[in-house]
Homo-oligomer: A and B are copies of this chain.
Amino acid sequence: MADKSQNWILIVTAQTPTNIAVIKYWGKRDETLILPVNDSISVTLDPNHLCTTTTVAVSPSFEKDRMWLNGKEISLSGDRFQSCLREIRSRASDVEDEEKGICIRKQDWDKFHVHIASYNNFPTAAGLASSAAGLACLVFALAKLMNVKEDLGQLSAIARQGSGSACRSLYGGFVKWVMGNDASGSDSIAVQLANETHWDDLVIIIAVVSSRQKETSSTTGMRESVETSPLLHHRAKEVVPKRILQMQEAIQNRDFPSFARLTCTDSNQFHAVCLDTRPPIFYMNDTSHRQVLIINCIEKWNRSEGTPQVAYTFDAGPNAVLIARNRNVATLLLQRLLFYFPPHPDTELNSYVIGDKSILQDAGIEAMKDVEALLPPPEIKDNVPSQKYKGDVSYFICTKPGRGPVVLADESQSLLHPKTGLPK
């Protein structure tokens, strides 16, 4: 076994994407194991624009498990972190690094402590599923460090115990979280429906909105919905199973009209269930008309085109996620969004539209004067709004479906110092 007095450090860095559900997860049948009341389906978002990077390290010199999130130390004592650490440790295998002279035996892993540093390339509190990407990345990186032999599906069941939707971040492309039946949760895992190259026409624009009000946490909200909403149970038992089959088929066939219809109606139904909860939960409209404006804009546009151009979906927060059928539609969408939600005069356009900025170029927008010159969308005709909503959106992220977790072999990307094991 490795000599604990030695001052070696073994380090792994991984990058994991976030994901947005198009058939929503809302409601647990088991709160501890995080087992859902229905299947859900998500699109993995391109990690170039939204991802978590996590470095995990093990060393005989570490005196306890420690974690830093975006450079700040946080507690690892929560049940969810502990579940993930325990489950991964219990599956650890022998690790040998001849070069460094390290050899850790399977049975000795629980004698070592780990350091974890995690970083989101997007604001943590922005409601962009940072916990999904974060827990998935933690599990994935630890599994690599500890030479866990389990496949991604089995790892997804571990990530699930950290944060339900984290299980869907273990694959790229289009992912289904199968609710499973077993009381142990062993069959409540994520499976990939199609990888990110399967339907690469899609373009995703996220309107990030700063919420002025604390929302109900999704853990609390779900619990209250399960306990009080009669519609939730009908949704879970009768509505979602059919939609899951339809959504799988839509993804399989790259059938955008069906994909958009299912995405929008399922987002609305999730928020309907929130409203049917006692007391009612308002994720969609707690602070403003923004979401309603965006929904009405997309619905009107889709109707005027005769077939859906864009799908919208809203999670348990105020951000809008808009999925355009192709790049051309995405440029038209970005023009509409900037028409309704121009940046504050003191905001740089360059920091107002981030991610894949080529969409901005395709839209012919290079400077604020181009935003000011935008014409109202043709489908609203004489109904031009008297009011624009300057400053109502913090920024837009242009992205697309993306790949699953990867190990970053380049040591320069490590978040922990190779000698000290502390954040760089």
B239, B269, B278: the one contacting A264 at CB < 8 Å is B278
A368 on the B face (CB < 8 A): no
B277, B280, B292: the one contacting A282 at CB < 8 Å is B292
In terms of DSSP, what is the predominant structure of the interface of chain A? helix
A110-156 CB contacts (< 8 Å) to partner B: none
Q: Kindly state the separation between the CA atoms of A264 and B228 in the bound complex, as whole angstroms.
A: 13
CB-CB < 8 A to A276: which residues of B?
Answer: 231, 265, 268-269, 272
Number of copies of this protein chain within its complex: 2
CB-CB < 8 A to A235: which residues of B?
Answer: 230-231
A71 on the B face (CB < 8 A): no
CB-CB < 8 A to A369: which residues of B?
Answer: none
B292 touches A289 (CB 8 A): no
A275 touches B280 (CB 8 A): no
A273 on the B face (CB < 8 A): yes
CB-CB < 8 A to A378: which residues of B?
Answer: none
Number of A interface residues, CB 8 Å? 32
* CB nearest neighbor in B for A291: B285
A279 on the B face (CB < 8 A): yes
* CB nearest neighbor in B for A276: B272
A286 on the B face (CB < 8 A): yes
Q: Kindly state the separation between the CA atoms of A381 and B285 in the bound complex, as whole angstroms.
A: 24
Q: Kindly state the separation between the CA atoms of A284 and B281 in the bound complex, as whole angstroms.
A: 13
* CB nearest neighbor in B for A230: B239
* CB nearest neighbor in B for A293: B286
Shortest distance from the beta carbon of A10 to any chain B beta carbon, whole Å: 49
A65 on the B face (CB < 8 A): no
A299 on the B face (CB < 8 A): yes
B275 touches A271 (CB 8 A): yes
A30 on the B face (CB < 8 A): no
Given contact pairs A269-B276, A276-B272, A287 touches B285 in the complex (Cβ within 8 A) = no
* CB nearest neighbor in B for A261: B278
CB-CB < 8 A to A287: which residues of B?
Answer: 289
CB-CB < 8 A to A299: which residues of B?
Answer: 279-280
B234, B269, B275, B295: the one contacting A268 at CB < 8 Å is B275
Given contact pairs A234-B234, A234-B238, A235-B231, A286 touches B292 in the complex (Cβ within 8 A) = yes
CB-CB < 8 A to A286: which residues of B?
Answer: 289, 292
Q: Kindly state the separation between the CA atoms of A279 and B275 in the bound complex, as whole angstroms.
A: 17
Would you give 6 A-B contacts (Cβ < 8 Å), ordered by A?
Answer: A231-B276, A265-B276, A268-B280, A272-B273, A275-B275, A284-B285
Residues of A whose CB lies within 8 Å of any CB of B are: 228, 230-231, 234-235, 238-239, 261, 264-265, 268-269, 271-273, 275-280, 282, 284-289, 292, 295, 299, 303
- Further pairs besides A261-B278, A279-B299: 14, Cβ < 8 Å: A230-B235, A230-B238, A230-B239, A234-B234, A264-B278, A265-B278, A268-B276, A268-B277, A269-B276, A275-B275, A285-B285, A286-B289, A287-B289, A288-B289
